[in-house]
Amino acid sequence: MSRAKLLFVFMLMVLLLAACGNNNQETSTDEGSSVDESQEGAGVTELSMWIHQSGEEETEFYKKRIEEFNEAHDGEIKINVEVVMDDGGSSYNDSLNAALVAGNLPDVLALDGPFVASYADAEIIAPIDEYISDEDKEDFVDSILQQGTYNDQLYSLGAMESSVVLYYNKEIFEEEGIEAPTTIEDAWTWDEFMAVAKQLTTDDRYGLNLFMDYGVGEWYTYMGAPFIWSNGGELISEDGTTVDGYLNGPESVEAFEYVKSLFEEGVVSLTPSETQFESGNAAMALGGPWIAVSAENAGMDYGMMPYPYSEVPKSPSGSMAYAISTQAEHPEAAYKVMQWMTNEESVIGLSEVTGMPPARKSAFESMEEYNELPKKIMRDQVVQTAHARPTTPAYPVLTDAFAQAFHAMALGEDAQSTLDQQVTRVERELRRFNQ
């Protein structure tokens, strides 16, 4: 690896850690998760794979599917898998970058979808266009392909999608006589959304929870970018060369001013409690699929509505994905692993375990819960309005700039000047890739 490439990798590691947080812990692997190397057979292609540690059920699902892959490909391919610590902070990315510098990246790896372009540009992961069939590719929802594509080449595939919907407390809505929209066509406009949020705000209850307690990081970009997209704006130019006139353009400024008004009107708390929505201290919540799980565990009667919009409905997307390392000696065999971990059976099983929407159209057709409310809202957004975060190698800096600006709006700062300052940062980073 060249000195320039090593320098980029170091810079990427720093930026990824800044975007994900500063909660450093030692990396660990799950004991017993690796396949016994003493079982090697002659002529077997042996591959290494990293998966991120998540919830116990999700992690066990990954390990089970890998065991089933090894059984199905006995005598042909065998995966040695490591479950690597993912603390929601820096540990997983820390491990990936350390392995890269040491020259021992796994053949197949999991990575956070929005960072695909960064790894692709650094030649850490390899394109898979020559392996995936047109029929298989067509079955993935568009946002998964958008997330995994850089410079017109496909690098990653995800087994699950995600979305942010507007959750609401049915009991409170009934008391207030508010009827929730049930289709994207009937989604609330910004004005309608603000009016309802004000109506629902009382001395002891907020109208809306934006989960600001998640901290200044990727959540703000993931949850907040549709405010810009639905207002006709973009975070970056189509060719990926500049954010000037986009992140700080009139559509973006107007969107950030709207976010600012939510706080100025007092309908959102900057410091909500962890269970503000579930405990009834917020009537609505703009949250991910995991909120359905916590609401159900709290025994609350909740519903889902589409993401509110300005000019055209847009919704967030993106999650963990699989990619092949450029260090892989057997990329075709590695792709078979990717294909297995993202096939219909894997996608459906993962959705059932995590509550996240599936990444394949065929899976949506097979899963009845996504054909009826409330989850139909999530399905419709994934299929119709999902918008992938920008695929640019400068994404680590861009997402931090967005998050900082979003937080500044919550603090009441001026949108135009804040965005102009953040654009200066991102433009400086983009110059490294525009040469």
My answer on whether 150 and 27 are in the same domain is: yes
Strand partners, 320: 112
- Each residue's pLDDT tens digit, 289-316: 999 999 999 999 999 999 999 999 999 9
288, 424, 341, 273: which is closest to 51 by C-alpha?
341
pLDDT the model gives residue 89: 53
My answer on whether 291 and 341 are in the same domain is: no
**CA–CA distances in Å: residue 145 to residues 2, 21, 102, 225, 276:** 30, 27, 30, 19, 35
Q: How far apart are CA 351 and CA 226, in angstroms?
A: 24
In a domain, 435, yes or no: no
- Each residue's pLDDT tens digit, 61-74: 999 999 999 999 99
pLDDT score of 88 more than 70 = no
My answer on whether 350 and 405 are in the same domain is: no
- Each residue's pLDDT tens digit, 193-215: 999 999 999 999 999 999 999 99
**What's the whole-number average pLDDT of the chain?**
90
My answer on whether 158 and 287 are in the same domain is: no
Q: What is the mean pLDDT of residues 94-111?
A: 87
pLDDT score of 19 more than 50 = no
My answer on whether 280 and 311 are in the same domain is: yes
Residue 124's CATH number: 3.40.190.10
What pTM does this model have? 0.88
- Ranges of beta strands (E only) in 292-434 are 302-305, 320-325
pLDDT the model gives residue 90: 58
Sign of CA dihedral 282, 285, 291, 292: positive
pLDDT band at 99 (very low <50, low <70, confident <90, very high): confident
My answer on whether 64 and 137 are in the same domain is: yes
- Each residue's pLDDT tens digit, 316-367: 999 999 999 999 999 999 999 999 999 999 999 999 999 999 999 999 999 9
Number of domains making up the chain: 2
- Each residue's pLDDT tens digit, 365-386: 999 999 999 999 999 999 999 9
Strand partners, 84: 29, 52
Sign of CA dihedral 249, 115, 113, 406: negative
Q: How far apart are CA 137 and CA 383, in angstroms?
A: 15
Q: What is the mean pLDDT of residues 89-117?
A: 84
- Each residue's pLDDT tens digit, 180-195: 999 999 999 999 999 9
- Residue 106, CB-side half-sphere exposure with 13 Å CA sphere: 25
- What is the secondary structure of 404-428 as a DSSP string? HHHHHHHTT--HHHHHHHHHHHHHH
| φ, ψ (nearest 5 deg) of residue 88 | 80, 0
